[in-house]
Structure formats: C-alpha cells, structure tokens
Structure 1
Amino acid sequence: MAPQKGKTGTRGQKQILEENSATLKFYRNMIIAVSAIYVVFNLVFENVLSLTSIFIYALIIASHAGSYQFMSYMANAKYTESGQLLDSGTDLNMEGGLAEHTKDLIILTSGCQLLSMISNYFWFLWLLAPGRAFWILWKNFLGPYLAQKSADEPPEISEKKQKKLERRQKRQQNVRH
C-alpha cells in the first residue's frame, strides 16, 4: 500500500475507544507475562526472600501498576445517561503524547525485568527513565526558558548594521552643528 500524502485522516470516537481498549489489553498482557516469567525464574534459580529482591520487585510492581492505571485513567470513556458515547478519553496511540512516554516506561521496566535474569547489572538500565524525563523537561521547558532573551537586553546587532548606525548618527550630529 502506498503511503498517504498530506494530512492523515481523523479517527472517530468509537475507533479511538476500540484502539485504546486494544492498547490497554496489550500492555496488561505484557506486564502479566513478563512478571510471571520473572517470578518463576526467581523462584527456581534465586533466593526470592533477599531484601534486595523484595525491594526491586516492589519497585517493579509500583512502576507497572502506576503506569497501567495512569493509561487506564487517561483512556476512561464517558457515556451519556442513555449509554451513548460522549467522549472516548485521551487517544493512547497519539504520537508525542503523554501516553507514549508511559508506554515507554512499561517497555523499559519489562526489558529490565527480563534482562535482570541474566545479570542484576541490567537494573542500571532503569536509570534511563529519569534521564529521559530530564531530557524531555530540558527540551520542552528548561532549555527554552533559560535561552530566551531578557526584555531589558537590546537585541544583538551584526557588525555591518552597527557600522551603518554609527555612520547615520555621525551624519545627524554633523547636520545639527
């Protein structure tokens, strides 16, 4: 199929609702599958009662549960009293949206979970999440705020324009005298 040119078509509320439901189901199944594999592996091969294992698994549960509940809240549909769809909620598949970052966190956590079965050093990959959050914060808020010019500062003028202004000021002074 050839790629479409121009503006992409808009999707209806019903289609967004169906896609949100499918997205939530996919990430729920991913979380359950990865967590089941992780728990079974740790029961068979490692000491699951160590304080470190319990702490890390509590962080995993908090990350997965928080991310999934946040996406579920965003996709919460609103209906009228007669049962008609009023609002399908936020589109979870929208590019550049907050749901995209939440899905990335679920994927990162799941990847760390699976890779940690090879070595516990893979948990350091989880530090990519705050790093990415800082990068997004810098790119969208801090960088533009710190880079903007103060209203008190005059705008920078090129050397050519500066010489032209000086010549004009000299001519005006010579005409006055």
Structure 2
Amino acid sequence: MPPPHKGKVPTKGAKQILTENVATVNFYRNMSLGAGLFFNIVSSVFYYDSLTGLTIFLNFFVIMIYVGCYQMMRYISRPRYSDNSQIIDPGLDLNMEGGMGEHVKDIIILSSIIHVLAVVSSYFWLLLLLLPMRAFYLVWKHILGPWFFQEVPEDTEQDEKKRKKLERKMNRMK
C-alpha cells in the first residue's frame, strides 16, 4: 500500500479508471449471481414445498434489482473511444467516494445479503424496506434539506440601489 499523501491526492489515469471499472462491474455481477444462485438452489432443493407466491415474487424482484444495478453500472462506466481507438472518456469512476457508483454498489450489497439471509427466514425480506428508506435519506440530505433550510440571502448593495430606485419611482407617481 502506498504511503498516504500529505498534499493533493493524485488523480487516476483513464486506463486505470477503465480497468478498475471493468473489475468492479465483474465483481458485483459475480456477487449478485452467487447470491441469486445460492438462494434458488437451496430453495429449490430444501424448501420447494413451502415456496409461496410472495417468496417467488420477492426473489424475482431482487433479481430485477440485480439486473437494473448491473445495467446502470455498465452504462455509467461505459468508455468512449476516438476513431483511432484512443480513450476519450473512461466513463464515470465507479470507485469514486460519494459518487453514483458507490450508491449502486450499496444496493447490490444489501440485496445480496438479504437474498442469502432469506434462506434462513422469510422475515429477512423485510430488510428490503431499507432501500427506499436510504433513497429518501439521500434525497433529503442532498436535495430537499438544503433547499428547505437554506439561509435567506442578505440585501446586497445592488438590491439596495434597486429598492431606492423603486421608492423614487413610487414617489414620482404620487
């Protein structure tokens, strides 16, 4: 591991972002495939008689979450090449802290854990409710909260001039 930098954090090159994105997409694809296969194999072998329509629906729902997240990760990390096969844009860095890729990876991790735990008890499916709660938290923290609680802008010198001009205009009209 390289020593920590005291100054500016070095930036990644386009090739490094591209190779890390490919590795990240493959890792999370394999994680979701492993969790899905584990649940489906164990359920079909041991719990085939006790599978309910709700369990089948939730299994299908989590698989659709996997597919959606996988497609999202592939789309946002898609590189663009020039005519002579040079990398113009490596795509969004999936390993960037606080970026969109981090949230998509969190969804895959949570869904995989729930999928594996659902083999033990069907009550673990209730943990899927954490996904909309997390989404609301992020929307509140980054969009709604700052919008609701922003400070009232103070009068600037230009606003003061406009107010005085309006007052003069109103006095002339009287």
TM-score band w.r.t. shorter chain: 0.7 to 0.9
Which portions of structure 1, spanning 4 or more consecutive aligned residues, are displaced by more than 2 angstroms?
A: 1-4, 47-50, 148-151
Corresponding residue for residue 110 of structure 2: 108
Aligned partners of 1:71 and 1:84: how far apart in 2? 22
RMSD value, Cα: 1.8
Corresponding residue for residue 137 of structure 1: 139
Aligned partners of 2:63 and 2:131: how far apart in 1? 16
Deviations 1:64-102 (A, max 9, x none): 000010000001011112211111100000000011000
Corresponding residue for residue 5 of structure 2: 4
Aligned partners of 2:136 and 2:62: how far apart in 1? 21
Corresponding residue for residue 26 of structure 1: 27
Question: Do 2:59 and 2:115's aligned partners in 1 also have CA atoms closer than 8 Å?
Answer: no
Aligned partners of 1:105 and 1:118: how far apart in 2? 21
What is the deviation of 1:121? 0.8
Deviations 1:32-63 (A, max 9, x none): 11111111010111137631122111101110
Answering whether residue 36 of structure 2 is matched by residue 39 of structure 1, we say no
Aligned partners of 2:55 and 2:123: how far apart in 1? 13
Corresponding residue for residue 162 of structure 2: none
Deviations 1:105-145 (A, max 9, x none): 00000000011111111111111111111111111111111
Identity %: 44
Corresponding residue for residue 61 of structure 2: 59
Q: What TM-score, normalized to structure 1?
A: 0.81
Aligned partners of 2:117 and 2:151: how far apart in 1? 46
**Against the structure 1 CA distance between its residues 149 and 3, is the aligned structure 2 distance closer, same or farther, given a 3 Å change threshold?**
closer
What is the deviation of 1:149? 4.0
Return 75-84 or 12-21, whichever deviates more.
75-84
Greater gyration radius: 1
Letter of the 1:113 partner, please give it.
Answer: H
Return 131-140 or 2-11, whichever deviates more.
2-11
Any residues of structure 2 matched to 1:142-153 within 5 Å, and which?
Answer: 142-150=144-152
* Secondary structure of 1:3's aligned partner: coil
Of residues 84, 87, 100, the one that matches 2:86 is 84
Corresponding residue for residue 167 of structure 2: none
Aligned partners of 1:77 and 1:148: how far apart in 2? 37
